[in-house]
């Protein structure tokens, strides 16, 4: 009974979700007045909410100075777990909505454009037909890194993130709060338009393309691999003609027949790049894993679970790089 009374006294009555929301706004704004303006309330209301929380937990939650306010260690701990509580409530509402209307629901996914342009369209198209009131939110996230750090995922802004790794999957040590699933190993292919003079060649040495007008994403794995292959042949790459992560811009320029590009094999395999041919060019072979990342111990709505299963099923249809290399075809 004592434990029940303590919960009722300290948590159930004294820590209110509204006050946690106010504290989060203050921490994000760095100012009581800015938080008040953001929330559409008076500053005394904000100050009182913070004071009530500090009284409830018995610790100072904010450090105040002439430059504004910032969470103390106690404030950061409360905000961290408060965010998890808010997320669980949002997920509960989403799940209730999904149960009440199986054709509806939301999926929040983040991934680089090279994956959103290849994996997502067929998955979303299929799910949209089955669940016509479903809503899909796609955020472009730069995930090509030696470290798997996904702030949007940990902040509960995304349900799932798809990422590319720069080392073999087995060489990574993942944070304990993440579930990381290896979907497939991709490869890099050199392509041009089917109308390009390069497309008529049966054999091309990479050194012949050192001065070609390349389209490559800046500071990317694509560029690193091409440069590595050229260095192995004693060549140096000329300045890239076009640096862009945009798949639409790259495809439009490739269609002119004047450019060459290095693209993921998964994108080519899924027929996203129409009118493009893989050139007979050998590149350094490096593992290029694609993974799907979610938060552990986070309840996901039914539509999100279905989305994850469909991505997994599609990934299984992508041939291994060594098989794809022997069965190239025109897209």
Residue where a domain stops, chosen among 58, 85, 112: 85
Same domain, 214 and 252: yes
163 lies in a domain? yes
With 0.85 as the threshold, say if the pTM is over it: no
330 lies in a domain? no
Q: Return d(Cα 163, Cα 169) in angstroms, integer.
A: 11
Mean pLDDT confidence for 9-32: 76
Whether the per-residue pLDDT at 217 is higher than 50: the answer is: yes
Same domain, 255 and 308: no
- How does pLDDT run across 91-115, given as a tens digit for each residue? 777 777 766 666 678 899 999 888 8
Give me the CATH number covering residue 20. Answer: 1.10.10.10
The single-letter DSSP state of residue 93 is H
- Count of domains observed in the chain: 3
**Is 101 within 8 Å of 135 (Cβ atoms)?**
no
Same domain, 175 and 193: no
188 Cβ neighbours under 8 A, 6+ residues apart: 221, 222, 225, 226, 262, 263, 264, 265, 283, 286, 288
Q: What is the predicted pLDDT for the residue at 77? A: 84
Considering only 95-99, 104-108, 137-141, 208-212, which range has the smallest mean pLDDT?
A: 95-99
Domain with 50, as residue range(s), is: 2-85
Give me the CATH number covering residue 166. Answer: 3.40.190.10
Q: What is the predicted pLDDT for the residue at 68? A: 80
Same domain, 15 and 68: yes
């Amino acid at each position: 009974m004592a434990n029940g009374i303590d919960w009722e006294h300290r948590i159930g009555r004294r820590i209110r979700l509204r006050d946690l929301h106010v504290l989060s706004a203050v921490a994000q704004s760095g100012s009581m007045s800015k938080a008040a303006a953001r929330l559409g309330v008076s500053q005394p209301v904000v100050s009182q909410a913070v004071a009530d929380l500090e009284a409830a937990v018995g610790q100072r939650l904010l450090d105040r100075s002439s430059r504004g306010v910032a969470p103390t260690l106690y404030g950061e701990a409360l905000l961290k777990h408060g965010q998890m509580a808010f997320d669980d409530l949002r997920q509960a509402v989403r799940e209730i909505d999904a149960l009440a209307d199986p054709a509806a629901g939301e999926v929040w996914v983040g991934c680089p454009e090279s994956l959103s342009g290849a994996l997502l369209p067929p998955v979303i198209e299929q799910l949209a037909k089955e669940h016509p009131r479903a809503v899909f939110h796609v955020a472009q996230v730069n995930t090509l890194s030696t470290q798997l750090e996904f702030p949007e995922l940990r902040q509960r802004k995304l349900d799932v993130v798809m990422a590319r790794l720069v080392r073999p999957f087995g060489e990574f040590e993942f944070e304990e709060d993440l579930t990381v699933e290896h979907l497939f190993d991709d490869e890099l292919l050199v392509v041009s338009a089917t109308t390009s003079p390069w497309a008529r060649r049966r054999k091309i040495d990479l050194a012949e393309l050192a001065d070609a007008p390349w389209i490559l994403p800046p500071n990317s794995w694509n560029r690193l691999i091409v440069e590595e292959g050229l260095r192995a042949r004693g060549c140096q790459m000329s300045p890239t003609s076009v640096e862009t992560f945009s798949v639409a811009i790259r495809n439009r320029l490739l269609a002119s027949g004047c450019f060459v590009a290095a693209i993921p094999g998964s994108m080519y395999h899924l027929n996203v790049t129409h009118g493009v041919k893989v050139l007979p060019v050998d590149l350094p072979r490096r593992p290029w894993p694609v993974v799907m990342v979610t938060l552990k111990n986070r309840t996901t709505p039914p539509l999100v679970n279905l989305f994850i299963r469909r991505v997994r099923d599609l990934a299984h249809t992508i041939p291994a790089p060594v098989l794809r290399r022997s069965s190239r075809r025109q897209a």
